[in-house]
Amino acid sequence: MLKPGECYIGAGEFQPEPNRLKKVRQEMEYNFEAWQKIAEDSKLLKAFPDGIIAQETLQKVPIGFDMDSPAKEFLKMKGFFVRKHYPDAFFWDKENFNTIVESFKTCWKLNNFVNSIG
């Protein structure tokens, strides 16, 4: 996102529509070990210290999902993305190009997971 005063690098699934959100949650619960590896990846967390976040989060696990699921904290999320804000000038400096590219590389597994869901 390159908007004056609001520049950041990010990736993932931001506020998907309800049917898509349900599919992502189902896949996450079904393949939680794979999801957990992505969420706990040290390179991802170094590039995006807040980890996987959501714009909105439910109070409880959604109906139809296991209340005791190991994925329960992620199942409450209404989106699954990483984001790191930078000053506007960061993107003007060509010296930061490699940092930008490496940030995107760390997001590959996250994007691959959410984009592989039909």
Task: Enter the pTM of the model.
Answer: 0.90
CA dist 6 and 73 (Å) reads: 27
Reported as a single tens digit per residue, the pLDDT across 16-30 is 999 999 999 999 999
Domain ranges of the chain: 14-115
Residue 118: pLDDT over 90: no
Q: Per 3-state DSSP, what percentage of the chain is helix, strand, and coil (rounded to 5)?
A: 50, 15, 35
The arithmetic mean of pLDDT across residues 73-79, rounded, is 98
CA-nearest of 64, 78, 79 to 26 is 64
Task: Using the predicted structure, report yes or no on whether residue 77 has a pLDDT greater than 80.
Answer: yes
What SS3 class is residue 12? strand
> Taking a C-beta distance cutoff of 8 angstroms, is the pair 103, 49 a contact?
no
